[in-house]
Amino acid sequence: MNPSPSIASAILSQLAAIAQRHPTPRVRRLHLPRRLGAAGEHDAEFCAIELEDGAFGLSYVLLGDTLAALLRAHGGGEWPLQGADPLALAQRLAGGSAVERAIALAAVNALTDSVWRRVGYEPPPAGNSLGDVQLNAQDHLGMIGFFPPLVKRVAEAGGRLSVVEMNAEMVARQRARFPDPDGQSNSPVYGHLKLPHLN
């Protein structure tokens, strides 16, 4: 699934405008997991782009065969992508292969971190994993991607949860891990936990 062209275009346009005022450092390296895990071994794996100024950007790589393809393409070198232009890598966010989009998103995130560091911006601290959102029983939280620690927070608040998760193996594992505790489909959280596999 590709990001919406309008979203990707807006992100890339913003990065280009920022680069006019804050020239971008080059890539120091691409960080990859050392190996493919067994199916179901991990709920999450990420690649990271590290820039020469120490900025980092992450991207999730367990969709389809993205991790295997990344390891085939870039896993053999000692310093993958060293010296690459992160703005050029980011351009593949709109329309690249799964590997190119994963690297592009990591580059976007690294460029964001780089600029934030240079301008001295620090996001305000959050007191909890929900960014200080105070959930209650009337709330319906939506998640893109499944984050298991948040399920318990939503359950404690009595709210409802809908999750869009593209990794079918993750869906199966999490349905087993977080079954409806009452065995009823109208449970305030688990009855509304939607984990469809999207093509």
Give the integer Cα–Cα distance in Å for 54 and 31: 13
Residues of the chain with pLDDT under 50: 184-199
pLDDT at residue 41 in the model? 63
66 plus 161 within the same structural domain: no
29 plus 114 within the same structural domain: yes
Is position 69 within any domain? Answer: yes
- Tell me the torsion sign for CA atoms 27, 63, 100, 149: negative
CB 80 within 8 A of CB 30: yes
pLDDT at residue 126 in the model? 76
Structure tokens at 70: 């990344």
**pLDDT (tens digit, 9 = 90+) per residue, 43-78?**
678 999 999 999 999 999 988 889 999 999 998 778
93 plus 159 within the same structural domain: no
Is position 146 within any domain? Answer: yes
pLDDT at residue 42 in the model? 62
Residues paired with residue 30 on neighbouring β-strands, in sequence order: 49
Query: pTM for this one?
Result: 0.72
Residue 50's domain comprises 5-119
State the first-to-last Cα distance of the chain, in angstroms, to the nearest integer: 8
pLDDT at residue 129 in the model? 67
Structural domains of the chain, count: 2
pLDDT at residue 196 in the model? 35
Q: Residue 189: which residues within 8 A CB-CB, separation 6 or more?
A: 151, 154, 155, 158, 159, 160, 161
pLDDT at residue 188 in the model? 32
Q: In the 8-state DSSP scheme, what is residue 41?
A: S
pLDDT at residue 38 in the model? 62
149 plus 96 within the same structural domain: no
94 plus 180 within the same structural domain: no
CB 90 within 8 A of CB 15: yes
69 plus 154 within the same structural domain: no
